[in-house]
Amino acid sequence: MAKHLSLLLCLYISISAIGQINPKLQSKIELQVKTIEPKIVEWRRYFHEHPELSNQEYKTGKFIADYLKSIGLEVQYPVAKTGVVALLKGSKPGAVIALRADIDGLPITERNSLPFASKERSVLRGQETGVMHACGHDAHISMLMAVAQILASNKADLKGTVKFIFQPAEEGAYGEVAGAELMVKEGVLENPKVEVIFGLHIQSLTPLGKIEYRAGGMMAAVDAFDIKVTGVGAHGATPWDGVDPIVVASQIVSGLQTIVSRQTELTKAGVVITVGSFHSGIRRNIIPEEAMLEGTIRTFDPEMQQKIHDKIRLTATKIAESAGAKAEVIINKGYPVTYNDPTITKTMVASLERAAGVENVSITQPVTMAEDFSFFQQKVPGLFFFLGAYPAQMNLQKQPTHHTADFMIDEGAFVTGTQGLLNLTLDYMFQNTSSSKK
Ligand code: NI
């Protein structure tokens, strides 16, 4: 990341001029955001009622593509299975700015009694399930459609190109390269080459109207590990005849926790190691031959991430060896760190403050959840922020978080979110000087 950083610093050192956005255009756009609000709500309710699972967003993708075509954008569809990419070219040359919204729903049966609650059902891995926009991606789509509409209507005043990325499968799809990773592989950031990318995530537990961001690692990298412990089976009455994989795997679970508590510099960045699944044995008086552990790793620093992987391998194999068992460790890298480029973040915070009010913009603690926006940020510098949408009618005791059947957001957040994306785009467009270098 350090190498990455210095490269970015060189690239962006040239950004110094204060935004040249015409105040008349700014106030016109602010008015347009207020005018389009009912439409954003209407779209969001449509998407909420018709959610689709990751990589199955056929109706969603088509709806977005048709709309973007209708407002005169150059639309590519489908991209990376069900995604949509659209270009808006301004009247003058300038930077290529990408804006991204994720579009998938989740395999959850909605419990809310909203008039537009989802009744959709689908099948996932052979199991029937309800489908629900339980992470707010319905809101992300709708706000980005509004941004596209407003920018398209001001095309003559714009410079450079805005690339709208409606990305499928942020939540991942079993056994498939999905979402942002596939989009990057399919060249979404090329042709024309994207210079900077912006995105947001609505947050149901963050107060309405607030915006939160963080320079550097904002959301964790997530990696999965599987540990297979092989012992020697025996009668439960005579453990000395075998090697008990349950006891060995239990020691490994404890050993993994000491990696975090005793061997990691936690003041540098947070680390989480969770064993979420432990399977072994079939009846009480049989010592089985195998135990399986499955877990998740969350890190914010690529160097620490590599060290944690090494330590997990070492801890598991050596504990097993000391007991005469064998441990095989498989670690699969998931989403990288959602890393906000420090220079871009510093330069662009004022744009968010103008959208939400200075008093409503703050720095968030690092979040141990992951987000595949990070795949875009690995290739181009970007800024990702949280949009507070804590619903007034929500019962705090129940705390319906993201990914639950009671998940809810306050639609009052849409104006702030839409304005935030517009300010970032326009401020970058008019203060960016690097396009002249090209
Ligand atoms: Ni989400």
For 42-65, the DSSP string reads: HHHHHHHHS---TT--HHHHHHHH
Spacing, Cα 201 to ligand 1 middle (Å): 7
CB within 8 A of 200, min separation 6: which ones? 140, 143, 384, 385, 386, 387, 417, 420, 421
Among candidate residues 110, 170, 171, 410, the one labeled active-site is 170
Exposed e or buried b for every residue in 141-178, given b needs 16+ CB within 10 A?
bbbbbbbbbbbbebeebbbbbbbbbbbbbbbbbeeebb
On the question of pLDDT at 103 being above 60, the answer is: yes
Spacing, Cα 394 to ligand 1 middle (Å): 19
Considering the segment(s) 221-335 as one domain, its CATH architecture is 2-Layer Sandwich (3.30)
On the question of pLDDT at 14 being above 80, the answer is: no
pLDDT confidence band for 240 (50 / 70 / 90): very high
Question: Please, is 284 exposed, middle or buried when counting C-beta atoms within 10 Å of its C-beta (0-12, 13-18, 19+)?
Answer: exposed
On the question of pLDDT at 77 being above 90, the answer is: yes
Per-residue pLDDT reduced to its tens digit, 389-428: 998 777 666 668 899 999 999 999 999 999 999 999 999 9
Q: Topology of 17-219+337-437 in CATH? A: Aminopeptidase (3.40.630)
Among candidate residues 52, 102, 104, 371, the one labeled active-site is 104
Spacing, Cα 136 to ligand 1 middle (Å): 6
Spacing, Cα 245 to ligand 1 middle (Å): 38
Spacing, Cα 246 to ligand 1 middle (Å): 36
Give the pLDDT confidence score for residue 432 in this predicted structure: 59
Spacing, Cα 371 to ligand 1 middle (Å): 7
Sign for the CA dihedral angle at 239, 243, 249, 254 comes to positive
In the chain, list all ranges with CATH 3.40.630.10: 17-219+337-437
196-203 and 382-388 beta bridge pairing:
parallel
User: Do 291 and 274 meet the contact criterion of CB atoms below 8 Å apart?
Assistant: no
372 is catalytic: no
pTM of the model: 0.90
Mean pLDDT of the chain: 93
Amino acid at 308: I
170 is catalytic: yes
In the chain, list all ranges with CATH 3.30.70.360: 221-335
Per-residue pLDDT reduced to its tens digit, 306-360: 999 999 999 999 999 999 999 999 999 999 999 999 999 999 999 999 999 999 9
